């Protein structure tokens, strides 16, 4: 599956990662801010814990469909064109959500936003993966993923300083400005050289699905679908509820936002360590180590008895979980040949988003039923360990050594 390509210059490489990364940053801002918005709109609209969980789940349903549909579209019309389309879908939905007059309208717009987000992320990682030399591919994709941490930090900052004073509607208008960034993509980012060299294949959904499960690919597809489901299930079940968990533990909204911001700071070093290790150890061992660290940190967070333990465990959870995300995004496109790479990554992400539907709903239902936080986070610990086991058992190493 190794393709020949001309390595970009250092400037072109930096421009590519930064250009796509800023779009990734805006996506992270939206997902990150949703956790804070949930804590703000719940009392405004008198939402139950189950209803709050459903908002996160409807976003993930949109992401699941968006990942599959836009992933397949990117194999037909190109990575760059689909990135522009998904940016516009996401940003317009975000801006319109500021006008939501109630729970139902907000849910509908979150579905549209989710479709744009779900389509953009696997296509963006595919574009970067195909635009750099194989021996730099893993590190480049993890560095791209590091913009997610910056987006979460900005989301926490905006939520901390904007929502308590000007309300959540102003914060979603800020993410709606992403539409302006789509204009940069028209001339600032080049199409994938792999896509330009290949003759696009017009596959139907079922044709692409059959291709992913042919004998030489079914092991990789099974592994990706399992690990994506477990990682997304646990991520959205845990991180969308972090501010609300702090509130439920007795801290007021502003302090909860501040504590979540502190925990979020650990995401960036998690990415950078993963980016450094992924070209030294390989994709498979890095992903297994960071998933295992995530599982142990989740268990510690659920059992934390005081603020110091909560912040420490939360920081470790951010460090390991986001490092695992970076490794997963680097690992996924490398499982497939050029002709179905975006479709394969998109479908794996789409299956993962189904986990994102179940995770917030499960957390909301368990909170409403009075289940202890130790048990809730113990469930997510088990899910992440299943993902790590799938990588260990079914995964193959895709590291290309520099010659």
Q: Residues 80, 92: contact at Cβ < 8 Å?
A: no
**85 in a structural domain:** yes
Give domain status of residue 3, yes or no.
no
* Entry pTM: 0.73
Q: Under a CB-based contact definition with an 8 Å cutoff, are residues 244 and 38 in contact?
A: yes
Q: Is residue 21 part of a domain?
A: yes
Radius of gyration of the chain from its Cα atoms, rounded to whole angstroms: 20
Residue 254's domain spans which residues?
10-394
Closest CA to 64 of 324, 387, 356, 330: 356
Q: Domain of 168: which CATH number?
A: 1.20.1250.20
- Residue 161 falls inside a structural domain: yes
- Residue 271 domain-assigned (yes or no): yes
Element containing residue 118 per DSSP (H, E): helix 103-131
In the chain, the number of structural domains is: 1
pLDDT at 350: 84
Helix (H, G, I), strand (E, B) or coil at 324: helix
In a domain, 2, yes or no: no
Has residue 401 been placed in a domain? no
Say if 400 falls within a structural domain. no
Maximum Cα interatomic distance, the chain, rounded to a whole number of Å: 61
pLDDT (tens digit, 0 to 9) for every residue of the chain, 403 residues total?
444 444 455 667 777 888 888 887 888 888 778 877 877 788 888 888 778 778 877 887 888 888 888 888 888 888 888 888 988 888 888 889 888 888 889 999 999 998 988 888 788 878 887 887 777 777 787 778 778 778 877 887 887 788 888 888 888 888 787 767 766 666 667 788 877 776 556 666 677 778 888 888 999 999 999 999 999 999 878 876 666 666 666 666 555 666 667 777 787 788 888 888 888 888 899 999 999 999 999 999 888 777 788 888 888 998 998 889 888 988 888 888 877 887 888 888 888 888 878 887 788 788 778 888 888 889 999 999 999 999 999 988 877 654 4
> Residue 285: which residues within 8 A CB-CB, separation 6 or more?
none
Q: How far apart are CA 188 and CA 194, in angstroms?
A: 18
């Amino acid at each position: 599956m190794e393709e020949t390509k001309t390595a970009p210059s250092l400037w072109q490489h930096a421009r590519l990662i930064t250009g796509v990364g800023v779009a990734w940053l805006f996506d992270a801002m939206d997902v990150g801010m949703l956790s804070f918005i949930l804590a703000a709109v719940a009392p405004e609209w008198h939402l139950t814990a189950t209803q709050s969980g459903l908002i996160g789940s409807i976003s993930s349903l949109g992401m699941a469909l968006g990942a599959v549909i836009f992933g397949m579209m990117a194999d037909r019309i190109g990575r760059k064109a689909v990135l522009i389309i998904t940016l516009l879908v996401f940003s317009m939905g975000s801006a319109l959500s500021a006008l939501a007059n109630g729970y139902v309208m907000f849910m509908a717009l979150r579905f549209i936003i989710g479709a744009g987000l779900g389509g953009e992320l696997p296509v963006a990682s595919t574009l970067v993966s195909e635009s750099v030399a194989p021996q730099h591919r893993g590190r480049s994709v993890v560095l791209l993923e590091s913009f997610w941490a910056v987006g979460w930090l900005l989301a926490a900052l905006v939520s901390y300083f904007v929502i308590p004073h000007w309300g959540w509607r102003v914060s979603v208008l800020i993410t709606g400005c992403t539409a302006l960034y789509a204009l940069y993509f028209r001339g600032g980012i080049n199409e994938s050289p792999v896509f330009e060299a290949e003759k696009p294949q017009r596959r139907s959904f079922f044709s692409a699905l059959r291709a992913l499960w042919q004998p030489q690919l079914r092991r990789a597809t099974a592994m990706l679908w399992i690990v994506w489901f477990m990682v997304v299930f646990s991520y959205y079940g845990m991180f969308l509820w972090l501010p609300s968990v702090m509130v439920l533990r007795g801290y007021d909204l502003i302090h909860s936002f501040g504590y979540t911001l502190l925990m979020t700071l650990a995401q960036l070093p998690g990415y950078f360590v993963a980016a450094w290790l992924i070209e030294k150890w390989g994709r498979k061992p890095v992903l297994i180590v960071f998933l295992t660290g995530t599982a142990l940190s989740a268990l510690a967070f659920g059992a934390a008895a005081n603020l110091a333990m909560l912040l420490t465990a939360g920081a470790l959870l951010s460090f390991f979980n986001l490092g695992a995300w970076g490794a997963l995004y680097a690992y996924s496109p490398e499982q497939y040949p050029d002709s179905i790479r975006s479709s394969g990554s998109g479908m794996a992400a789409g299956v993962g988003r189904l986990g994102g539907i179940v995770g917030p709903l499960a957390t909301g239902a368990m909170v409403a039923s009075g289940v202890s936080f130790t048990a809730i986070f113990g469930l997510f610990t088990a899910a992440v360990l299943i993902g790590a086991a799938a990588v260990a058992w079914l995964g193959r190493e895709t590291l290309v050594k520099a010659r």
